[in-house]
Amino acid sequence: MDGELTAGMPAEALNPDQPLRERRDAGRATTRRPKTVRWFLIMALLLTLVLGGLYGFNRFRQQAMATFFANNRPPPAQISAVEVETETVPRFATGIGSVSAIHQVTINPEVGGRVTKIFFEPGATVKAGDPLVQLNDAPDRGDLANYQAQAHWAETTLQRSSELAKHQYEARETVDQKQSQLDQARAQIIKTEALIEQKLIRAPFSGQLGTRQIEVGQYLTPGARIVTLTDLSMLYVNFTLPSQIRAQISVGQQVNVTADAFPGRVYTAEITTIEPQVSADTRTMTVQATMRNPDNSLLPGMFVNAAVVLPPQPDMVVLPETAVDYTLYGDSVYVIQEDGKDAKGNPILKAVRTPVKTGARWDGKVAILNGLKPGLRVAAAGQIKLQDGVQVAVTGSPAPQPPAHPTPN
């Protein structure tokens, strides 16, 4: 019975506290929703204030920096300037060569023999005909005495036979035979004297000796090395030039010669020979110049730079070499131009980078083939501080001076 009654009753009758709980939960949900919306609004307002503050600070900082740099410009760069001028430009045909001696030999004996005496010291300077080495000539001198005795006897018998033949006491054939014996003895004397002379080795010309290759008592075979002899007073300069400039060079032209061993020093040579054929491999021609070496400073075998002096080229734009900025992207200079006037009425100068085409360089100068006109002013020193359009101030300091006697290019 109870089960049947319970099943037929509504839920509120079975649980009288249920409606009250539902009303309490609905009130709590209604109260929680306005608090959540208010929290999101507060967070959005705070985030807006923070972001707005950051944006305003950055804007203020940028304006402050712009105002600072606008009112605090760096002072003009201090530079040296030169005026673009024209002058005659020397021209050269350059090549790399080497030096050789006009007279240089290795002293060798013509005949074999034992060294009995050495007359020179290594590195000594000798004159033509000075004795250098004596080989053993005692056997040859003995032969010479023998041949001289034979010649004397042959001469005596010849005179006796000639007298007898005049009176027909001796046949003419005997006289001719004794004349032949005398001639043979004299020929042997000449041969032996020449052999003795060969064993006294002399300097063939004046010059400087090298290191000694022999010792006293040593047996020398024909052709053995004794010492080198070099005449350093006159030298050959052998170098090559492109065949395209053959029409510009001729025998007798001056050649300026420089060597790395003596920087800044220029030797003067003269073209004496031009090879009458061109190398098929390199298409270059060999040129030989002769030069004096008064202090024996250059030595055979040294590499040198040879510059054939060509007719100069007049009215070329010329600048100090320090004025050109050489880079991988091309050569340029900074031209000084006026850019208005300041508050005191003084001209404002700025540097403008201008590309140029350079030519020959010599004595610290460079020829400008294209890009500049005479009368302009360019920066000669201090380019490392410059940029295109930067303000500059020209000082009264002179441009850097080139080194004395540089190698022409």
Residues 336, 392 contacting (CB under 8 angstroms) = yes
Nearest to 304 by CA among 272, 256, 241: 256
**Where do the domains of the chain lie?**
18-52, 77-88+315-394, 93-99+231-312, 113-220
Choose between 377 and 5: higher pLDDT: 377
Measured distance CA(120)–CA(212) in Å, rounded: 9
Measured distance CA(363)–CA(264) in Å, rounded: 11
Least reliable range by pLDDT among 231-245, 247-261, 331-345: 331-345
> What 3-state DSSP class applies to 280?
coil
| DSSP letter, residue 242 | E
CATH number belonging to the domain at 93-99+231-312, selected among 2.40.30.170, 3.40.50.2300, 3.30.420.40, 3.40.50.720: 2.40.30.170
Cα angle 204, 210, 211 (rounded to 5 degrees) comes to 125
CA distances to 8, 273, 292 from 100, rounded to whole Å, are: 139, 14, 12
**DSSP run (H or E) holding 258:** strand 254-258
Strands 365-370 and 357-362: antiparallel
Measured distance CA(365)–CA(368) in Å, rounded: 10
Strands 391-394 and 347-355: antiparallel
Measured distance CA(341)–CA(348) in Å, rounded: 5
pLDDT greater than 70 at residue 396:
no
Tell me the percentage of the chain whose pLDDT exceeds 70.
86
pLDDT 10s digits, 46-99: 888 888 888 888 888 888 777 766 555 667 778 888 888 888 888 889 999 999
In this structure, the number of other CB atoms found within 10 A of the CB of residue 64 comes to 10
CATH number belonging to the domain at 113-220, selected among 1.20.1440.230, 1.10.287.470, 2.130.10.10, 2.102.10.10: 1.10.287.470
pLDDT of residue 12: 47
Overall average pLDDT of the 170-175 stretch: 80
Tell me the two tokens of residue 201: 């080795």
Measured distance CA(383)–CA(286) in Å, rounded: 43
Task: For 265-277, give the DSSP string.
Answer: --EEEEEEEE-SS
CATH of domain 77-88+315-394: 2.40.420.20
Look at the pTM and tell me if it is higher than 0.75: no
Least reliable range by pLDDT among 305-319, 370-384, 394-408: 394-408
Tell me the two tokens of residue 111: 């005949």
> Quick one: pLDDT band at residue 23, thresholds 50, 70, 90?
low
pLDDT of residue 3: 45
**DSSP run (H or E) holding 332:** strand 330-341
Amino acid, single-letter form, for residue 274: I
Q: Per this entry, what is the length of the chain?
A: 409
Residues 307, 92 contacting (CB under 8 angstroms) = yes
pLDDT greater than 90 at residue 20:
no
Amino acid, single-letter form, for residue 341: K
Least reliable range by pLDDT among 13-22, 76-85, 213-222, 349-358: 13-22
